[in-house]
């Protein structure tokens, strides 16, 4: 591919701060003689398809968007590459919470109960924990009732509103358990959504990774390598960069890796979200 435009990133507009972040990155890159721009999409599905069409050079992908982009690329005889991620994207888990006073002390006791999750496309609050429970013999929707909180569907759970609503339902006694990413359990306790000592962890998923910068095999390698080099050089101690990193939720960029997506790949297959070629299979999901 011959680049006749700035190196262009695709990102999903899940929050107004996204504009502030990428405008700041654009200005910072410019001071280092790196021509950079960005395009915002309303959904990760549109972003993945635009990437395969060559409309952007790199995408800031949710973990689920990485899975779809990789599958779409493979089906087209191409290769996707994870090139950078935040320090906060690595080695995460999701948890299944119950009220501290609940009589549920084993996952098997969720049979016949109600479990709250985030949005239908949330890797951390729906796909991964539901697959985790399925691995333990509890079929979602059959062994137990799934109560989903579909906040900002197509944003892949980037908006934490669905998880917050799931926890509120747990606190209000509307469900017997709720699924959230471990970091949001701490956030919700800090903000007061979860009262002190009001919940306990019933079960925890395996370790996984979250977002990644993704390029395809036709992206100019020397430009990609310069982009990665600049990202990795960003310092949290730099007063110009620090506000942008704080908004994006990291202290340092790390080289990309794909080993942390194995659990999600399995969950996507087990729950029938995407086909092997990246087609959307799940019923009721916007296409």
Distances (CA, A) of 67 to 53, 72, 109, 247: 17, 9, 32, 25
Residue in the block written with tokens 């919700």: 188
Percent of the chain at pLDDT > 70 equals: 99
Query: Fold match between 7-89+210-271 and 94-204?
Result: yes
Nearest CA among 212, 220, 252 for reference residue 34: 220
Q: Encode pLDDT of 58-69 as tens digits.
A: 999 999 999 999
Say whether pLDDT at 104 is over 90: yes
State the pLDDT at residue 139.
97
CB of 204 within 8 A of CB of 93? yes
What would the two tokens of residue 121 be? 């496309």
- Strands (E) in 26-165, as ranges, are 36-41, 58-61, 80-86, 94-99, 114-117, 145-148
Say whether pLDDT at 159 is over 90: no
SS3 assignment, position 11: strand
Of 29-33, 34-38, 109-113, 158-162, the least confident: 158-162
| Averaged pLDDT, 159-163 | 92
State the pLDDT at residue 196.
86
Q: Where are the domains of the chain?
A: 7-89+210-271, 94-204
Q: Encode pLDDT of 258-269 as tens digits.
A: 999 999 999 999
Q: Encode pLDDT of 49-101 as tens digits.
A: 999 999 999 999 999 999 999 999 999 999 999 999 999 999 999 999 999 99
Q: Which letter does DSSP use for residue 68 in this model?
A: H
Q: Which residues contact 259 (CB under 8 A, 6 or more apart)?
A: 209
Higher pLDDT, 70 or 4: 70
Say whether pLDDT at 1 is over 60: no
CATH code at 7-89+210-271: 3.40.190.10
Q: Looking at the structure, give the CATH architecture of the domain made up of residues 94-204.
A: 3-Layer(aba) Sandwich (3.40)
Which residues lie across from 10 on neighbouring strands? 39, 59
How open is the CA angle 163-19-241, to the nearest 5 degrees? 95
Nearest CA among 184, 173, 116 for reference residue 145: 116
CA distance 137 to 165: 26
CB of 284 within 8 A of CB of 120? yes
Distances (CA, A) of 95 to 128, 141, 182, 200: 10, 19, 6, 9
Helix (H) or strand (E) segment spanning residue 254: strand 253-255
| Averaged pLDDT, 109-121 | 98
Helix (H) or strand (E) segment spanning residue 50: helix 44-52
Whole-structure pTM value: 0.95
State the pLDDT at residue 10.
98
State the pLDDT at residue 202.
98
């Amino acid at each position: 591919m011959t680049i006749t435009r700035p190196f262009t990133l695709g990102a999903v507009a899940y929050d107004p701060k996204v504009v502030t972040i990428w405008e700041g990155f654009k200005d910072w890159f410019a001071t280092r003689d790196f021509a950079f721009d960005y395009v915002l999409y309303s959904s990760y599905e549109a972003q993945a398809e635009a990437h395969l069409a060559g409309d952007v050079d790199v995408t800031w992908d949710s973990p689920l968007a990485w899975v779809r982009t990789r599958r779409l690329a493979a089906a087209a005889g191409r290769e996707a590459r994870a090139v950078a991620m935040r320090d906060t994207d690595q080695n995460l888990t999701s948890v299944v919470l119950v009220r501290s006073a609940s009589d549920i002390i084993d996952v098997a006791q969720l049979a016949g109960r109600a479990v709250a999750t985030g949005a239908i496309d949330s890797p951390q609050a729906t796909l991964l924990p539901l697959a985790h429970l399925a691995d333990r013999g509890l079929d979602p929707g059959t062994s137990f009732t799934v109560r989903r909180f579909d906040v900002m569907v197509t944003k892949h759970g980037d908006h934490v509103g669905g998880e917050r609503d799931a926890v509120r339902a747990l606190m209000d006694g509307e469900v017997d358990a709720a699924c959230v990413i471990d970091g949001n359990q701490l956030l919700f306790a800090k903000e007061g959504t979860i009262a002190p000592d009001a919940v306990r962890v019933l079960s925890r998923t395996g370790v996984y990774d979250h977002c990644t910068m993704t390029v395809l095999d036709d992206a100019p390698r020397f430009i990609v390598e310069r982009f990665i080099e600049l990202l990795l050089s960003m310092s949290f101690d730099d007063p110009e960069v620090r506000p942008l990193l704080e908004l994006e939720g990291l202290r340092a960029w790390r080289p990309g890796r794909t080993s942390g997506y194995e659990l999600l790949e399995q969950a996507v297959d087990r729950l029938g979200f995407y086909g092997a070629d990246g087609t959307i299979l799940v019923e009721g999901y916007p296409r």
